[in-house]
């Protein structure tokens, strides 16, 4: 089993069960993890469980309710226009975007249009291959034109959806788990689906122990289930803190992890680059790996590495 990034694989070696802690202050953890999920589950066909606290794609019922509100509101009764609802990061479509190179925002907007309107309504309302979405804030209406997918893009989307549906990828959306519930969930998927790798996008969704105790329990779990377990951990902004100080601050968690990855967005200086420092590893391999990070498409691509 491989992450899909050769230089990273040469360092962390997923052939052995381990707890891998991914730390960042730059909101890049989920993009990074979902690229690995795609590479392991969709491409390599290995069973993966992804546990997140974001909204997954199956929000059709909520969208239908929003549609009813718009169409029943007399103020907008004559304006057959869908409403742009607030939707958080969408796990499945972030994977689709990485697979197809379809813009993730355009993808989300098209999903909303297709969920609210029938095909007949889309044809009737579209102009120059665009449909207007309405966002309502404090009673004020804002119109946002959405460019619809062309036939080639629809073909890519259909193929990606099929590949995901036929892959051994399992998603669980959880908010406020206790540790025992998380462990039970992992045991269940291991027994029923022989899961090879488990991802938890944010350690903060586990809320009944201190994080050192959580990491200790999850470290033991990775060995018992013989899996690779990735855990995301967001930290406060560290722009003014050196890498050495960051490593020092993480030392309290070192004994409960096998591998620690520190993720840093390149910012304006290294635009579209994601730097990954391997600051602990059970094979004593330390180094730095850099990936091209195309945020609009949730796509990570291998670049060069450096050792120290």
At a CB cut-off of 8 Å and minimum separation 6, what does 99 contact?
38, 42, 160, 163
Q: Where is pLDDT greater, at 70 or 299?
A: 299
Predicted pLDDT at 88: 42
User: How far, in whole angstroms, is CA 258 from its chain's centroid?
Assistant: 22
Q: Which domains does the chain have, with CATH numbers?
A: 6-53+174-306 (3.40.50.300), 60-159 (no CATH)
Predicted pLDDT at 307: 46
pLDDT in tens, 99-122: 999 999 899 888 878 877 788 888
Computed from CA positions of residues 48, 54, 60, 62, in that sequence, does the dihedral angle turn out positive or negative?
Answer: positive
At a CB cut-off of 8 Å and minimum separation 6, what does 39 contact?
2, 3, 4, 5
- The answer to whether 215 and 209 are in contact (CB under 8 A) is no
In this prediction, residues 265-294 reach a mean pLDDT of: 88
pLDDT in tens, 152-180: 999 999 999 899 989 999 988 887 788 99
Q: How many CA atoms lie within 13 A of 76 on its CB side?
A: 21
- The answer to whether 90 and 57 are in contact (CB under 8 A) is yes
Q: Where is pLDDT greater, at 85 or 278?
A: 278
pLDDT band at 283 (very low <50, low <70, confident <90, very high): confident
Q: CA angle 158-28-18, nearest 5°? A: 95
């Amino acid at each position: 089993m491989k992450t899909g990034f050769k230089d990273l694989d040469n360092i962390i070696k997923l052939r052995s069960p381990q707890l891998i802690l991914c730390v960042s202050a730059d909101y890049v953890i989920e993009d990074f993890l979902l690229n690995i999920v795609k590479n392991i589950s969709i491409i390599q066909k290995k069973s993966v469980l992804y546990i997140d606290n974001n909204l997954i794609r199956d929000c059709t019922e909520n969208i239908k309710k929003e549609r009813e509100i718009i169409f029943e509101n007399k103020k907008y009764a004559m304006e057959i226009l869908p409403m742009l609802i607030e939707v958080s990061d969408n796990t499945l479509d972030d994977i689709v975007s990485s697979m197809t190179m379809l813009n993730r925002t355009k993808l989300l907007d098209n999903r909303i249009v297709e969920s609210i309107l029938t095909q007949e309504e889309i044809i009737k309302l579209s102009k120059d291959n665009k449909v207007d979405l309405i966002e309502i804030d404090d009673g004020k209406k804002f119109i946002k034109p959405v460019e619809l997918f062309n036939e080639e893009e629809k073909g890519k989307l259909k193929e990606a959806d099929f590949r995901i549906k036929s892959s051994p990828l399992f998603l669980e959306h959880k908010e406020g788990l206790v540790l025992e519930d998380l462990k039970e969930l992992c045991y269940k998927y291991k027994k029923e689906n022989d899961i090879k790798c488990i991802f938890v996008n944010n350690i903060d969704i586990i809320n009944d122990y201190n994080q050192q105790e959580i990491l200790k329990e999850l470290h033991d779990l990775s060995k018992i289930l013989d899996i690779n377990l990735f855990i995301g951990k967001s930290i406060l902004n560290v722009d003014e803190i050196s890498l050495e100080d960051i490593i020092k601050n993480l030392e309290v968690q070192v004994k409960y992890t096998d591998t620690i990855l520190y993720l840093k967005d390149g910012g304006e200086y290294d635009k579209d680059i994601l730097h990954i420092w391997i600051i602990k590893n059970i094979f004593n391999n330390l180094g730095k790996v850099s990936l091209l990070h195309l945020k609009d498409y949730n796509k990570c691509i291998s670049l060069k590495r450096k050792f120290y």
